[in-house]
């Protein structure tokens, strides 16, 4: 009996220590690290070649945003598919019209910059470990809903990177990785709306999120594009201030 009580006490102490580590604060990295991760993220987002690969991570956040809001609004999430051309598809069941469908359709392009803004708030508060664990949990939730092989591999590779950094890397590496990820979401959240705008100008993307929202609300697709731009740019400005400590 005593042994069982002792084992339970040790387990509770271990869980308590783990929670303290996750929920506790960590020291901010030096300013040069913050600036270096900003430059690194920009080097991935701005040039065309690295962006074509890195955009898969933005697509995960985009489709994950659709899926999360679908669940929050009472829709039934059927599955998520990620494709090698960095496009994606989230399927949910429910009323084809109404506020739930509108919010679900609007969540895709706004999800990456808003995730970046939330991440910047956590980093601004010194919650580096908590950010890494929350990101891992979100990726695991997306993985459960993936319905194709390419999507599963993409999420597994991304999630494994977070797990390895969270468990094996030192505090300085974790901080640099966390800041690079958040900068990437903030910067990478801006570009897709401009890409969509360019496609629509050339007569393509007729079934885009903006066009679906236009059909649902009878508001011009250009106004929804403006919303996507406003959310991404404001998130970048606000998140950037938090990350730079301004």
Q: Are 199 and 205 in contact (CB under 8 A)?
A: yes
For 124, phi then psi, to 5°, come to -65, -25
Residue 137: its pLDDT value, please? 96
Residue 16: its pLDDT value, please? 54
Residue 17: its pLDDT value, please? 57
Domain boundaries, the chain: 24-244
Query: How far apart (Å, rounded) are the C-alpha atoms in residues 68 and 141?
Result: 9
Q: Can you point out the beta strands (E) in the chain?
A: 76-82, 88-93
pLDDT in tens, the chain (246 residues): 554 545 544 454 555 554 545 656 777 899 999 999 999 999 999 999 999 999 999 999 999 999 999 999 999 999 999 999 999 999 999 998 899 999 999 999 999 999 999 999 999 999 999 999 999 999 999 999 999 999 999 999 999 999 999 999 899 999 999 999 999 999 999 999 999 999 988 887 778 999 999 999 999 999 999 999 999 999 999 999 999 987
- From residue 107, alpha-carbon distances to 25, 43, 55, 102, 217 in Å are 30, 26, 17, 9, 15
Residue 85: its pLDDT value, please? 93
Residue 55: its pLDDT value, please? 96
From 90, 81, 85, select the one nearest 111 (Cα to Cα).
90
For 146, phi then psi, to 5°, come to -70, 140
- From residue 26, alpha-carbon distances to 74, 122, 175, 181, 185 in Å are 37, 11, 9, 17, 21
Q: Can you point out the beta strands (E) in 64-199?
A: 76-82, 88-93
- From residue 71, alpha-carbon distances to 92, 118, 145 in Å are 9, 20, 12
- The label of the residue with tokens 């979100």 reads 138
Which two three-digit tokens encode residue 89? 């598809």
CA atoms within 13 A on the CB side of 18: 9
Residue 26: its pLDDT value, please? 75
Residue 89: its pLDDT value, please? 95
CB atoms within 10 A of CB 207: 9
Dihedral sign, Cα of residue 79, residue 82, residue 83, residue 89: positive
Residues pairing with 91 in the sheet: 79
Residue 10: its pLDDT value, please? 46
């Amino acid at each position: 009996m005593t042994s069982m009580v002792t084992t339970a006490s040790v387990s509770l102490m271990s869980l308590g220590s783990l929670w303290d580590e996750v929920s506790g604060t960590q020291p901010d990295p030096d300013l040069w690290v913050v600036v270096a991760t900003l430059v690194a993220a920009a080097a991935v987002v701005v040039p065309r070649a690295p962006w074509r690969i890195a955009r898969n991570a933005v697509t995960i956040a985009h489709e994950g945003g659709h899926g999360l809001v679908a669940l929050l609004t009472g829709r039934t999430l059927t599955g998520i598919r990620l494709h090698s051309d960095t496009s994606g598809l989230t399927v949910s069941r429910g009323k084809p019209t109404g506020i739930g469908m509108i919010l679900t359709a609007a969540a895709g392009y706004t999800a990456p910059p808003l995730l970046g803004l939330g991440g910047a708030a956590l980093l601004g508060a010194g919650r580096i470990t908590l950010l890494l664990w929350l990101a891992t949990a979100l990726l695991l939730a997306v993985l459960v809903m993936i319905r194709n092989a390419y999507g599963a591999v993409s999420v597994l590779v991304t999630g494994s990177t977070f797990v390895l950094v969270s468990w094996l890397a030192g505090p300085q590496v974790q901080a640099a990785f966390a800041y690079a990820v958040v900068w990437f979401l903030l910067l990478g959240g801006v570009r897709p709306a401009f890409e969509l705008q360019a496609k629509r100008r050339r007569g393509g993307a007729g079934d885009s999120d903006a066009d679906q929202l236009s059909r649902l609300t009878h508001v011009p697709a250009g106004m929804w594009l403006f919303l996507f731009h406003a959310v991404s740019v404001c998130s970048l400005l606000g998140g950037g201030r938090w990350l730079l400590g301004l």
